[in-house]
Amino acid sequence: LSSILSGHEPPRKSQHVAIEMSGLNNAQRFGKQIPFAEPAWYQGFWSPYYTDSHRAYRAKVRAFVDERILPIVDKCIAAKSYPRELHKAAFEAGVTSILYPEAYGGTREKHDYFHELILWDESARSMGGGVMGQSAIDSMAVPPLLAHAREDVKREVVPGVVRGDLSVSLAISEPFAGSDVSALRATAKLSSDGSHYVVNGQKKWITGGGMADYFTTLVRTGGDGFGGLSLLLIKRTLPGVSVRRMETQFDNAHSTTMVTLQDVKVPSKYLVGAEGAGALIILQNFNHERWLIAVGTCRDARNCYTEAFEYALDRRTFGKRLIDHQMIRAKLANM
C-alpha cells in the first residue's frame, strides 16, 4: 500500500519467487493496480482457475466495455434507453456468444463458467444505468427454454437472442407475490380443445420488459402452491399483452416494467416443460441468476471503493492529500 501511495510499485519479490518456485509463472497484471480495485488474479496473484483463454477473453470484454459502453453511459441514462445494436456488436465481437450452445449460434462449448464470470464482472464496470443490461436478462430467461422448451420453439427464439436480434425477459414477480413464488395469482387456463392457454394477470418489476420480445412467464395452471405453477413463453405482440415502464433509481437506461396480461391466447406449444413443473424449473434457474447478480454487485463494490481511493489520492485538505490523513486511510481499509 505504501508503494502505491508514494507513486512506486516495485515487484512483490516473495510472491514472484513463490510462483517461479512452483513452476507456475503465468500471473499477469491487468487493469488498475490499486489494492482490491480488481480481482486478485488481475493484480499478480496466481489462480488455478484462469488460463490464457480467460486472459484473452478478459481483454476482449474490457476493450468492448471501454470502447462501446463507457463513452455512452451518461447519454443513455439521460435518454432512458440504449441502442439495441450493442447486442449485435457484442455478439460479433465474441463477447456474448459464450453464453449459448453452438447448435443455436453460440460458442458455449469452448468456454466455462469462469469466462462468464469475467463477462459479468467486466460489464459491471459501466457503473449503473443498465446499459446493455438486457444481455444479462437474456442469459437468465433463455436457459429454461434451452432445457425444457420444444425444439421448434427454441429455433424460433434462441438464435435471434444469440445474434442480438431478439430479447427475452423473466416474468415471475407480481404486485402481491415477489419472493413468495408459491403465491402467484396469474392464471393460464387450457382451452377445451387443448390448442392454447388463456392467460390473465399482472407481472411487476419485470426487468427488461421494455426491450423484451418474449417473456418466460410463471403462471398458475393448477391449484394452490408450487405444484400448480407452470412456465409459458409469451410473445410480446400477442393481443392482450401490455407493457408499462416503471420509474426506478438504478436501471434508467434499461427498463423495469409492469406487464399486464388480459385474455392472452398463448398456443400450447409454448408450454415450457410439463404442467406443474414451472416452479421447479424457475427455482433451479435462480441458481445461475443469483450467481450472475452476485458477480455484478462485487464489481459494484470495487467501483465504489476505487472511485473513493482515486479521489483520496487527488483531493487535498489541510495541506496534504486526503489519503495522507490517518482516518481516511482507516476508512479505505475498512472498505
Higher pLDDT, 16 or 313: 313
Q: Which amino acid is at 27?
A: A
With left for phi above 0 and alpha for psi between -120 and 50, is residue 105 left, alpha or beta? left
d(CA 237, CA 265): 11
pLDDT at 71: 95
pLDDT of 176-215, one tens digit each? 888 888 899 999 999 999 999 999 999 999 999 999 999 9
Looking only at the bridges linking them, the beta strands covering 196-207 and 187-190 are antiparallel
Statement: residue 13 has pLDDT above 80: no
d(CA 290, CA 88): 25
Read off the pLDDT band of 128 (50, 70, 90).
confident
Residue 41: helix, strand or coil by DSSP? helix
Stretch 135-144: mean pLDDT: 97
pLDDT of 39-94, one tens digit each? 999 999 989 999 999 999 999 999 999 999 999 999 999 999 999 999 999 999 99
Read off the pLDDT band of 27 (50, 70, 90).
low
Read off the pLDDT band of 17 (50, 70, 90).
very low
Min mean pLDDT across 41-45, 99-103, 262-266 is at 41-45
d(CA 321, CA 324): 5
pLDDT of 220-262, one tens digit each? 999 999 999 999 999 999 999 999 999 888 768 889 999 999 9
pLDDT at 182: 87
Looking only at the bridges linking them, the beta strands covering 320-321 and 316-317 are antiparallel
- CA 283, 285, 291, 296 dihedral sign is negative
pLDDT at 252: 81
Statement: residue 14 has pLDDT above 70: no
| C-alpha pair distances (Å), 243 with each of 76, 160, 253 | 21, 21, 16
pLDDT of 270-296, one tens digit each? 999 999 999 999 999 999 999 999 999
> Got the DSSP string for 257-314?
EEEEEEEEEEEGGGEESSTT-HHHHHHHHHHHHHHHHHHHHHHHHHHHHHHHHHHHHH
Nearest one of 300, 257, 325, 312 to 124, comparing CA atoms: 300
Q: Are residues 210 and 169 in contact, defined by beta-carbon separation less than 8 angstroms?
A: no
> Got the DSSP string for 116-182?
HHHHHHHHGGG-SS-TTTHHHHHHHHSHHHHHHS-HHHHHHHHHHHHHTS--EEEE--BTTBSS-GG
The pLDDT > 70 percentage for the chain reads: 92
Read off the pLDDT band of 10 (50, 70, 90).
very low
Q: Are residues 207 and 255 in contact, defined by beta-carbon separation less than 8 angstroms?
A: yes
